[in-house]
Structure 1
Amino acid sequence: MTSHRVVVDDGEAGRVLTVLPGVGYTAEGPVLARPAAALRAAGWTVRTVVWGGRPDFDGARRVYADVVRDGVAAAPGAVHLVLAKSLGTLALPVAVELGLAGAWLTPLLTTDRAPEVRDAAAGLGAARVPALLVGGTADGLWDGALAAASGARVLEVDGGDHSLEIDGDPARTARALDDVTAAVVDLAAAVAAARN
């Protein structure tokens, strides 16, 4: 299995963001880095998974579940939020099980390799877990109808691909990135306010 480490940027102990990147999309990619930076600036502790190589589905599934559980165990009274991209959304079922809020960017909703992600996303409303699903209409892994029926907050990027970029339109891509960041920050504020 590919090695990994969890990098922790300490902020307030009572608010913890866990960042789970995709296969080829690291935490330095803008749709993860910008929201994480905004929450770090707002005082959140940020825990980020960094892979030592290219993770596979089964290894990532185990690692992400453990990382999420370890984060809760390390700060049991904290407000927790998961920020995950693509392969990182393999942690969605664990987050739902633990009652953790999450921002699930380009979730794996249509692949047969992750049916548990689709099932967990479809049941977000029933689980009453605060969640944001973000995907692009040009991403084959996105299911806009499932997202709309999920009970979660939804941000759909018209023409967005699996990186939430709009081909040939950098201005719209930049606006989409602003929208994603704002939506994640808004979810984080709502989750923190609900705990106070």
Structure 2
Amino acid sequence: MTVYFEKTGNYSEKVFEIVNQKLKESSIDTVIVATTKGQTALYAAENVKNARIIAVTHQAGFRSPGEMEISEEMIISLKEKGVEVLTATHALAGIDRAIRKKHGTWQISELIAETLRIFGQGTKVAAEIVLMAADAGLIKMEDVISVGGTGRGADTAWVIKPAHTSTFFDLRMKELLCKPRDF
């Protein structure tokens, strides 16, 4: 059963309750979590049971050139808790974003991102981080739970069959677990 939140926000506690329930009733063993500064991944590490957790951070330079938003201390803390941490170019931005910023011309990957945002920012993020984890070789092409959000914290979770960016159209958004209604 899908849970809907009235609006966007930090619903991490409820989202990870839903994630744990889905893990219990399925054979899924991997949870991919978007995290900017590490707090959402830390919450997952402390509250998700019986699953491998992969935290996907913003790429270096996302906010300012050469800067990471997540601290080295947080990365160490997450790894000590068994979380795998991935920092990589955003699958639905990358060089296409540079072209848009410099020339004002939208490219395909950002148009795909905008299309996914029709379902909310968290849905776009959930799809994107699965692509990134697949491209990094961290996951098999088996169903995972992917957790995204709008701003800080989690508000969206999907069961997704992964794909690589080069096979994007094989990605399957199989089951919506939760998301905000108003975004």
Does 1 or 2 have the higher relative contact order (CA < 8 Å, sep 6+)?
2
Answer whether TM exceeds 0.5 for this pair.
no
TM (norm. structure 2) is 0.38
